[in-house]
Amino acid sequence: MDAWREGQDGRDPTYREWLYPPPLLVIIVLGLATLVGVAYGAAYGPLLGWLVGGALTAIGMTLLAISSTHVRVDDRVVRAGRARLPLAAIADAVPLDAEGMRHARRHGDPRDYLVLRAWSSRRGVAIRLDDPSDPHPRWVVSTRHPDRLATAINGAIAESRTPPDAPG
């Protein structure tokens, strides 16, 4: 494994998760776009109603897709959204239950780097950093599977710190 460079993911992902919005939120966006489209159609004609409803649907679905976050752990980095954290900078990862996540959001260090989504921020993982030059003492990342994510991060850290010729 060659050295990590800024903006580069690893080749061997051990964990992947997309934090998509829940189906109910998608239904709400579709319902609101339909209602507005019907209202415009009734007032200005069916063609404009279809155009407005279609445009609002496209805009709403695009915003939901953009707000979805990708969480990934590989042999080089932990990636949360567009941010990448090299494994060499991580001390450890701890899963957070609902109470731990609430405490991290309300009473945590204001310097923490937060990757939270409203629809999946009930549980998460606290990633403690081991890099004195980093302005963030830890990352707090939303996830639907905190135990699996913490295990993947801690396993990737152990693997990255094991010398290549050491027995397995």
Average pLDDT, the chain: 89
Q: What is the pLDDT of residue 119?
A: 77
- 16-37 pLDDT, tens digit per residue, is 999 989 899 999 999 999 999 9
Domain match, 79 and 104 both? yes
Return the amino acid letter for 108: G
55 assigned to some structural domain: yes
Least Cα distance to 100 among 140, 68, 63 occurs for: 140
Q: Does the pLDDT value for residue 121 go beyond 80?
A: no
pLDDT tens, residue by residue, 130-168: 988 889 999 999 999 999 999 999 999 998 887 766 665
* Residue 150 falls inside a structural domain: yes
Please tell me the total count of domains within the chain: 2
Q: What are the phi and psi torsion angles at 57 (to 5°)?
A: -60, -45
How confident is the model over 96-117, as a mean pLDDT?
A: 91
CB-based burial, 14-25: b 16+ in 10 Å, e otherwise: bbebebbbeeee
The whole-angstrom separation of Cα 88 and Cα 142 is 21
Last residue of a domain, one of 10, 36, 66: 66
What pLDDT is attached to residue 137?
A: 93
Percentage helix, strand, coil for the chain under 3-state DSSP, each rounded to 5: 45, 25, 30
Contact by Cβ (8 Å): 117, 69: yes
Q: Which residues in 20-149 belong to E strands, given as ranges?
A: 69-73, 77-80, 83-86, 90-96, 113-115, 124-129, 138-142
Model pTM? 0.79
Picking from 86, 158, 95, the residue whose alpha carbon sits closest to that of residue 129 is 86
Q: By residue range, what is the domain housing residue 121?
A: 70-161
Of 7, 34, 66, the one marking the end of a domain is 66
pLDDT at 1 over 50: no
